[in-house]
Amino acid sequence: MPDEGEAKSGLPHLRVDVLTLFPAMFDGVLGESILKRARDAGVLDVRLTNFRDYAEGRHKKVDDTAYGGGPGMVLKCEPVFSAVRAVLGDDQDAHLVLLTPQGKTLTQNKVRELAGKRRIVMLCGHYEGYDERIRQGFPWDEISIGDYVLTGGELAAMVVIDAVARLLPGTLGDETSATEESFEQGLLEYPQYTRPPVYEGMAIPDILLSGHHEEIAKWRRRMAEERTRERRPDLWRQYMDGGAQG
């Protein structure tokens, strides 16, 4: 049998624990396409925990009104602390992720970092936010997927899982695919084409039919640079500041 940190295929795998009030939201995402393939191969192990199960009382209440007043409800400490501790057990090396619009924006660099972890535990918030002591009680890596507010952290968790899973060895099959996509080289991806060579008067560039792989590579790099400079000047500045090689 493979070790705990090794997939059935012999490749290292990642375990992701998601603490959520709505575990059923993940069924479709985890049961289709690339994520299903990764789970079936044993490369990705996703476990869902409803932290309402750790709430006390007959009504299993997980939220309450905010001290000082204000709209909305705030997630209580007790069920979250209990759930996190139960899921972690004796594992002190798991990487804890708090999904929050106040976190640092998710980037491909952060995705690569997370893909190198053995285990990630993610907490999905809801309502008006977390009791601040939830933030203080654990060494969270606070992550946001963008400057907007969602109803809850579940969709953000799905985004993180999808982005990370694609970088795990064995997920995509062709391991060169992920390295040539947008953001991996600090650039947006070059234009892609497939058959037919002409469609409604629009023809693919002749260079792609030439068979000259070195020239095709140069063209793709040039197109990626032009597209990044035009569409994402912020990325272009970072690319240039990094001393990119032409």
> CATH no. for residue 146?
3.40.1280.10
In contact, 3 and 32? CB cutoff 8 Å: no
**Same domain membership, residue 186 and residue 160:** no
The CATH number assigned to the domain holding 220 equals 1.10.1270.20
Q: CA 154, CA 94: separation in Å to the nearest integer?
A: 20
In a domain, 71, yes or no: yes
Q: Considering the chain, what is the average pLDDT of its residues?
A: 91
C-alpha R_g of the chain: 22
The pLDDT score that the predictor gives to residue 3 is 46
In a domain, 52, yes or no: yes
Query: What's the pLDDT tens digit per position in 214-227?
Result: 999 999 999 999 99
In a domain, 170, yes or no: no
Distance of CA 224 to the CA centre of its chain: 23
Does the pLDDT at position 114 exceed 60?
yes
Q: Domain containing 95: what range?
A: 14-165
* 163 — pLDDT class (breaks 50, 70, 90): very high
The pLDDT score that the predictor gives to residue 173 is 67
**Same domain membership, residue 134 and residue 189:** no
In a domain, 8, yes or no: no
Does the pLDDT at position 54 exceed 50?
yes
* 174 — pLDDT class (breaks 50, 70, 90): low
In a domain, 202, yes or no: yes
Distance of CA 44 to the CA centre of its chain: 13
In contact, 174 and 166? CB cutoff 8 Å: no
Provide the whole-model pTM: 0.86
